[in-house]
C-alpha cells in the first residue's frame, strides 16, 4: 500500500529526552509512551533505542541506577536498562522547548509521483490515490481509537487533558485536510479520465461507466 | 445479530435533462451495528445529505438495498416505513424548525402522537437535559447560539429514543471545545445507549470520537475496515525504518 507518511522534522531525540526528564524509563516503555503521546507521528518501534544511543553519545542521558522502580527493569522476564536525563540533557531539552519552531517541509512521495506521472495510465494513478485515501482514514481511525482508550483510562490532570485535546485536534485536522486533498485529486482525475475516454479517437465500444 | 443499518450496493443519481445524470452515490455498502459510531467524511455537495436520506428510508436508491434491523425498508408499506422514521430512526439536521415555538415544544411536537402531551414533554425535557441544553428550553430558535442549536438539534434526534441516529454535519462552524463536546455526546450515545450512529461531516473535528471512519467523494464510499490486523502499520514502508534511522 502506498506510503502517505508525513516526513516530519520532529526528532525522536528531543521527545525521548523529554519523556526521560518526566520519568526515567527503559527503551521498551519509551516506545509505548511515544506511541501514546504522539501516535500520528508514526515513529517506528525501536525509534526510542536508536534515539537513546545518540543521546548517550552526546552525554545527554545516562543509565539510571535506581532500585525503587524495579517494575520498569524487568519485562517478560528480561532485564531492561533504565535511562535518565543528565543535567546537560535537561539544559538541552529546555533550550529546544523554548526555541522557535520551523515550518515543516511538505516533502513526500505522493506529491512527487503526481508531479512526475505523465499522461499515461491514469487509472493506476487513481488507484494509488484511492489507496492513500483509505490508508489515511485507517490511520485516523487507529489514532482516534488509541486516544479514546487513553481518555477512558483517565487519571490525567486538567492540564494534561487540555494539552491532549490540542495535540489531538492538530493531528485530526492534519488528516482531515489530507483526506480532503486526496478526495479532490481522485475526483479530478476520474473526471479527467472520463473526459479523455469520451474524446478519444473513435472506438466501437464505449468504456463502461464505473 | 443483524446490523441496525445495512446498505448494499446502493446507487443514486439524479437526472439532468435527457442525457445527463448526476451520480451521487455509486455502489455504496456500509453496515452499522448497535452501539457503533461511524463518521463519513465528505466535502460539500458530495452526497452527505443524500446518504443520510437513503439511510433513513426517505430516498429510494436506483439500485441496491437498504435494510433496517434486517428488514428491507423498501419492501415495507409506506405507512410502516414512515413509522420507522418517526420512531426508531432519529435524523438530526441543523435547519431552522418550521414553527417558531419554544425549543421544548419543538422537541416535543413529533412525539405527541405516540406519547401524549405529558409523555412528549417529559421526553423532550429529558432529551434536552441529556445534551446539556436544559436552559434553552424556553428560548426560541432565533435566540440560540450556533453551539446551542447543535445541541437542540441533537435533542430532537434522541427524544424519540431511536436505535439509529443519523446526523448531518452537526458541528460545522463550532469551535474546538464545543466540537469536542458534541463528539463526546455522540460517542456516549453509542457506547452507553447502544444507539447506532452515522455522522456525515464536512470536518473531522478535533476529537473524532467514533469507531470507524469512511471517506465519501465522487459517489464512492471508502470504508476503513473495522479491525485492522494488530501490530501492522499500513503506512509503514519497507524503507521507512532505514530512512528514519539515518535521519
Measured CA angle at B31 (ends B30, B32), to 5 deg: 125
Does A137 contact B245 at a Cβ distance shorter than 8 Å? no
Tell me the whole-structure pTM to 2 decimals: 0.77
Q: Which residue has the higher pLDDT, A82 or A209?
A: A82
Grid coordinates belonging to A47:
525509534
- Which chain A residues contact residue B220 at CB under 8 A? 130, 186
ipTM confidence: 0.74
CA-CA distance, B93 to A19, in Å (whole number)? 44
Q: How confident is the model at residue A115 (pLDDT cuts 50, 70, 90)?
A: confident
Say what angle helices A158-199 and B176-193 make with each other, to 10 degrees: 90
Identify the weakest region by mean pLDDT among A7-11, A66-70, A104-108: A7-11
Residue ranges in chain B modelled with pLDDT below 70 = 226-247
What is residue A3's predicted lDDT score, i.e. its pLDDT?
36
Helix H or strand E segment including B145: none
What is the reported pLDDT for B239?
A: 36
Check: CB of residue A106 under 8 Å from CB of residue A9.
no
Indicate the pLDDT class of residue A200, thresholds 50, 70 and 90: low
**Cell digits of residue A193:** 479520465
pLDDT of residue B121: 95
Mean pLDDT for all residues in chain A: 80
Contacts of B49 (CB under 8 A, 6+ apart): B168, B200
* Residue-level pLDDT at B64: 95
**pLDDT at residue A154 in the model:** 66
Give the Cα separation of B130 and B133 in Å (integer).
Answer: 8
Q: CA-CA distance, A189 to A126, in Å (whole number)?
A: 6
Sheet strand arrangement including B220-223: B89-92, B164-168, B196-201, B37-42, B212-217, B220-223
Chain A positions in Cβ-Cβ contact with residue B211 (cut-off 8 Å):
141, 145
Q: Is B37 on the interface with A (CB under 8 A)?
A: no
Q: Rounded to whole angstroms, how far apart are CA atoms B151 and B130?
A: 10
Q: Mutating which of B19, B22, B184, B218 best tests the A interface, going by the most A Cβ atoms within 10 A?
A: B218
Q: In what order do the strands lie in the sheet with A82-85?
A: A25-26, A82-85, A61-63
* pLDDT on residue A209: 52
Question: Does residue B166 contact residue B92 with C-beta atoms inside 8 Å?
Answer: yes
Q: Helix A87-98 crosses helix A12-22 at what angle (to 10 degrees)?
A: 120
Q: DSSP letter for B137, please.
A: T
As beta bridge partners, residue B220 has: B217
Please check whether residue B22 is in contact with residue B219, taking contact to mean a CB–CB distance below 8 angstroms. Answer: no
What pLDDT is stored for residue B65 in this prediction? 95
Closest partner CB to A179 (pick from B41, B209, B236): B41
Which pLDDT value is given to residue B28?
95
Highest mean pLDDT, choosing among A63-67, A107-111, A188-192, B179-183: A188-192
Q: How confident is the model at residue A201 (pLDDT cuts 50, 70, 90)?
A: low
Amino acid at each position: 500500500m502506498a506510503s502517505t507518511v508525513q516526513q516530519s522534522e520532529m526528532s525522536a531525540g528531543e521527545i525521548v529526552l523529554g519523556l526521560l526528564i518526566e520519568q526515567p524509563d527503559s527503551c521498551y516503555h519509551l516506545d509505548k509512551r511515544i506511541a501514546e503521546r504522539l501516535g500520528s507521528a508514526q515513529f517506528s518501534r525501536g525509534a526510542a533505542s536508536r534515539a537513546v544511543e545518540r543521546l548517550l553519545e552526546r552525554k545527554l542521558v545516562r543509565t539510571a541506577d535506581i532500585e525503587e522502580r524495579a517494575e520498569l527493569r524487568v519485562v517478560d522476564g528480561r532485564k531492561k536498562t533504565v535511562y535518565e536525563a543528565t543535567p546537560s540533557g535537561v539544559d538541552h531539552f529546555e533550550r529546544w522547548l523554548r526555541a522557535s519552531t520551523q515550518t515543516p517541509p511538505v516533502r513526500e512521495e505522493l506529491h512527487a509521483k503526481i508531479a512526475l506521472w505523465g499522461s499515461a495510465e491514469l487509472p493506476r494513478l487513481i488507484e494509488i490515490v484511492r489507496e492513500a485515501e483509505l490508508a489515511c482514514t485507517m490511520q485516523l481511525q487507529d489514532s482516534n481509537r488509541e486516544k479514546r482508550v487513553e481518555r477512558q483510562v483517565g487519571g490525567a490532570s486538567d492540564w494534561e487533558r487540555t494539552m491532549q485535546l490540542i495535540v489531538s485536534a492538530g493531528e485530526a485536522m492534519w488528516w482531515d485536510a489530507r483526506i480532503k486533498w486526496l478526495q479532490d485529486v481522485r475526483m479530478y482525475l476520474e473526471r479527467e479520465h472520463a473526459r479523455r475516454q469520451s474524446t478519444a479517437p473513435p472506438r466501437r465500444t464505449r468504456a463502461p461507466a464505473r | 445479530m443483524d446490523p441496525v443499518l445495512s446498505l448494499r450496493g446502493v446507487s443514486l443519481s439524479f437526472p439532468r435533462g435527457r442525457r445527463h445524470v448526476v451520480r451521487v452515490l455509486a455502489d455504496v455498502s456500509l453496515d452499522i451495528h448497535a452501539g457503533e459510531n461511524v463518521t463519513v467524511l465528505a466535502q460539500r455537495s458530495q452526497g452527505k445529505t443524500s446518504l443520510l436520506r437513503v439511510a433513513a428510508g426517505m430516498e429510494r436508491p436506483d439500485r441496491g438495498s437498504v435494510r433496517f434491523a434486517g428488514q428491507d425498508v423498501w419492501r415495507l408499506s409506506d405507512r410502516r416505513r414512515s413509522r420507522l422514521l418517526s420512531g426508531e430512526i432519529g435524523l438530526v439536521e441543523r435547519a431552522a424548525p418550521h414553527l417558531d415555538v419554544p425549543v421544548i415544544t419543538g422537541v416535543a411536537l413529533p412525539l405527541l402522537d405516540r406519547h401524549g402531551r405529558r409523555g412528549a414533554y417529559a421526553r423532550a425535557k429529558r432529551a434536552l437535559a441529556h445534551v446539556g441544553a436544559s436552559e434553552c428550553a424556553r428560548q426560541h430558535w432565533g435566540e440560540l447560539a450556533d453551539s446551542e442549536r447543535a445541541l437542540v438539534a441533537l435533542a430532537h434526534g434522541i427524544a424519540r429514543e431511536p436505535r439509529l441516529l443519523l446526523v448531518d454535519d452537526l458541528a460545522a462552524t463550532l469551535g474546538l471545545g464545543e466540537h469536542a463536546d458534541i463528539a463526546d455526546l455522540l460517542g456516549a450515545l453509542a457506547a452507553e445507549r447502544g444507539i447506532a450512529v452515522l455522522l456525515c461531516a464536512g470536518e473531522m473535528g478535533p476529537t473524532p470520537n467514533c469507531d470507524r471512519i469512511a471517506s465519501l467523494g465522487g459517489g464512492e464510499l471508502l470504508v476503513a475496515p473495522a479491525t485492522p490486523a494488530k501490530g501492522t502499520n499500513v503506512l509503514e514502508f519497507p524503507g521507512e525504518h532505514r530512512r528514519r534511522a539515518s535521519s
